[in-house]
Structure 1
Amino acid sequence: MLLLKWHLFNYSKLEMNELQYITIQNFTTSTGKAHTINLSYQTFGKALHTAPIVLVNHALTGNSNVIGKDGWWNDLIGINKCIDTNNYTIIAFNTPGNGFDNNLENLIEDYKNFTAKDVAKLFSIALDLLKIEQLFAVIGGSVGGGLAWELAVLKPNLIQHLIPIATDWKSTDWIIANCHIQDAILNNSTEPLADSRMHAMTLYRTPESLAQKFARTKKNDSLYNVESWLNYHGDNLNKRFNLSAYKMMNQVLKTIDISDGEKDFLEVASAISSDIHIITINSDLFFKAEENWNAYVDLKSIKDNVNIHEIKSIHGHDAFLIEFDQLARFLKPIFKVELKTNKTLNKQVA
């Protein structure tokens, strides 16, 4: 039997961005393994249940620290930003096992027993416990966007605006192949985190992006600047991330699939009531834009409330963390809708 425990009940005594926990005992994964999961999360902006709620799903090496000190999406979310914390509550869960709380007991060693759908189920359980019955939006980039798709299928009437960015409803053969290589590096290299990160960075950018940035220049007689840049990213991840956490996140990325590998995509997606806003990147070498456009065309045949926007950039997959002006331009109309609704409601009440 699934057992739940909610830590830190009293919101009035909490800092909004304090790490909080929900303990989910006897959670059974898709492979039939039972686990106790300490799911951590943070909230920002308006107090929970006082404003429309936006769930933000982090990317592979990200975390729940969306804004503020060391916040990874400060350019997009915050006071008077595109997603304005004066008007919205932001909630972000840490993917179980991502190591953000530095508690070794919360790492997951048998990572291959988990899938993206399992993580989405855990998020769904947590939302129920927090008594969140409606989300204004769910937004996430890369693997976070894949989890947004999975949650939308699990709870087809929960989300008003589904915003998957630089991702897809499934991990393609290309994604699976690269995750397989990453897993081999993580399990066989003498410097697994650094080597895995360097390999990944060549997928997150493009040849054009690297050429523009480095132009074959050298740091010294024996080292190109692009090599120095890769070394930096490898060393940096090695300092701030945990090997077990990287394996877990790579596994989640590999297993995104709202069709469960056998159902028809349109049949599954047709149940989602959300307005769907797909945001793709023209130069993404990881989650290809063509896959997103194909999904859009298919969805448009059964749903009117589906849109697609394309970020134009030479920077590839990482453009969703670089091209903030373009991203904000696509998102602003979405996040102004609720404000207009609130003004209308206020006039009616008055």
Structure 2
Amino acid sequence: MLDLKKIVIKNWVLENKTTLKNVNLFYETFGQELGTAPVVLVNHALTGNSTVVGENGWWNDLIGENKTIDTKFYTVLAINIPGNGFDGNEENQIVDYKNFTIRDIASVFWQVVFQLKIESLFAVIGGSLGGAIAWEMSVLEPNSIENVIPIATDWKATDWMIANVLVQDVILNNSSSPIQDARVHAMLLYRTPESLKNKFEGKVNPKNQRFEIENWLCYHGEKLEQRFQLASYKLMNHLLKTNDITRGRERLENVISNVKSNIHIVSIDTDRFFVAKEDKETYEVLRKVKSNVYHHKIQSIHGHDAFLIEYKQLNEILENVFNIIYIK
């Protein structure tokens, strides 16, 4: 059962110096009661939300009782990106989406954490957009996270990312079926030709005589339209191009040298959205100035979406992070 909790942010100062007052944010907690156990913050991806476990949980294979992130031992906190529409509250929608950056989201997440009287986080973990927010959170509070785990993401927006955000934005602002059409395009960024060939093999559906790949893409577009709002999609997509932990700061190695956290960068070898080569280059730079940075790679034919598919590999990567302080 959905158990959304609300917290009010009295003053949220954006990067562009705009101040928003009395903003409602919504979050969920799982596992141990706040204040009684180490806290793991899970940041959701573009079309995700705070329901990470349970009947509709999108990360049940990683989080839960006796799972890698064991809710018998940890408090799991998940905050909805403001404006993602998950609370169903129209007045909480953020309409002027281009005013916001990933740094703004990371900043307001820290406000939530501190208002909940959480002094430090055992881990911040997230895939894709959620992982980018994790990078920024680590820089904003360099002494407050023990483990930062950005998965299938990057600390900056590449030209490739910026280009694809533009394509999505054009679709979202010009299509007669914006959510469906943008989702159809996005799914091709999240998977690989090999993944689609393995899944469909050029088969035709005998009921409607369409290729199965066409049915699958249309299904995902229609499904997202039923549960997601246009303003939310525009905002989440836009945030991806605002990602840069060095903006207005120093070079990457100087910025990260101040971060005390263990940093576990998790790449997917076939990711064509956030490409693994970028993570490798980041790791090579950071390991010269930081001893506790690690690079892990998931092997998969599925591309970007492998962080939601290859659970065995992801669990194997993360079990040493989450099991080191106790024995099951």
Measure, in 2, the Cα distance between the counterparts of 1:261 and 1:48. 35
The alignment partner of 2:325 has SS state of: helix
2:210 aligned partner: 223
Letter in 2 for 1:35: L
2:134 corresponds, among 138, 145, 148, to 148
Distance 2:126 2:102 in 1: 14
Does the alignment pair 1:315 with 2:305?
no
Which residue in the other structure is 2:69 paired with? 83
**Partner in structure 2 of residue 96 of structure 1:** 82
Q: Quote the residue 1:200 is aligned against.
A: 186
| Aligned counterpart in structure 2 of residue 29 of structure 1, from 11, 14, 23 | 14
Matched, 1:260 2:244: no
Counterpart of 1:348?
A: none
Following superposition, the deviation at residue 285 of structure 1 comes to 0.3
Question: What TM-score, normalized by structure 1, do the two folds share?
Answer: 0.91
The C-alpha deviation readout for 1:105-158, integer Å capped at 9, x for no partner, is 111000100000000000111111111111111100000000000000000011
Question: Counterparts of 2:65 and 2:10 in 1: how far apart (Å)?
Answer: 37
Looking at structure 2, the residues matched to 171 and 253 of structure 1 have their Cα atoms a distance apart, in angstroms, of: 7
Match of 1:324 in 2: 311
Q: State the partner residue of 2:222.
A: 235
Tell me the distance in 1 between the aligned counterparts of 2:249 and 2:263.
23
Q: Displacement, 1:263?
A: 3.0
Is residue 2:235 matched to residue 1:248?
yes
Q: Structure 1 regions of 5+ residues with no counterpart? A: 1-14, 344-350
Question: Which of 108, 124, 134 is residue 138 of structure 1 equivalent to?
Answer: 124
Give, in whole Å, the separation in 1 of the partners of 2:12 and 2:38. Answer: 29
Bigger Cα displacement from structure 2, 17-26 vs 274-283: 17-26
Residue equivalent to 2:43: 57
* Residue identity matched to 2:217: L
Q: Which residue of 2 is the match for residue 123 of structure 1?
A: 109
Taking the aligned partners of 1:39 and 1:328, their CA distance within structure 2 comes to 30
Cα separation, 1, equivalents of 2:287 and 2:248? 22
2:102, 2:136 within 8 Å by CA — same for their partners in 1? yes
- Residue 172 of structure 1 and its aligned partner are, at CA, apart by 0.8
Equivalent residue for 1:276?
Answer: 263
In structure 1, distance between residues paired with 2:43 and 2:156: 16
Q: Which amino acid aligns with 2:228?
A: F
Give 3-state SS (helix, strand or coil) of 2:194's partner.
helix
- Displacement of 1:21: 1.3
Residue 289 (structure 1) aligned to one of 259, 265, 276: 276
**d(CA) in 2 for partners of 1:26, 1:167:** 29
Query: In angstroms, what is the RMSD of aligned CA positions?
Result: 1.4
Distance in 1 of aligned mates of 2:163 and 2:209: 32
Equivalent residue number for residue 3 of structure 2: 18
CA distance in 2, matches of 1:138, 1:30: 22
Distance 1:118 1:22 in 2: 17
Percentage identity across paired residues of the two chains: 54
Cα distance between partner residues in 2 of 1:115 and 1:324 = 30
Distance 2:248 2:277 in 1: 20
Distance 1:300 1:79 in 2: 34
Alpha-carbon deviation of 1:34? 2.6
Q: SS of the counterpart of 1:259?
A: coil
Paired letter, 2:246: S
Amino acid at match of 1:146: A
1:107 has 2:93 as partner: yes
Structure 1 distance, partners of 2:160, 2:246, is: 17
Structure 1 residue 262, shift from structure 2 partner:
6.1
Structure 1 position 39, deviation (Å): 1.1
Q: TM-score, normalised on structure 2?
A: 0.97
| TM superposition outliers: structure 1 runs of 4+ over 6 Å | none
Contact 2:249/2:255 (<8 A) preserved: no
Matched, 1:169 2:155: yes
Q: Structure 2: 5+ residue runs without aligned partners? A: none
Distance apart, 1:33 and its partner CA: 2.4
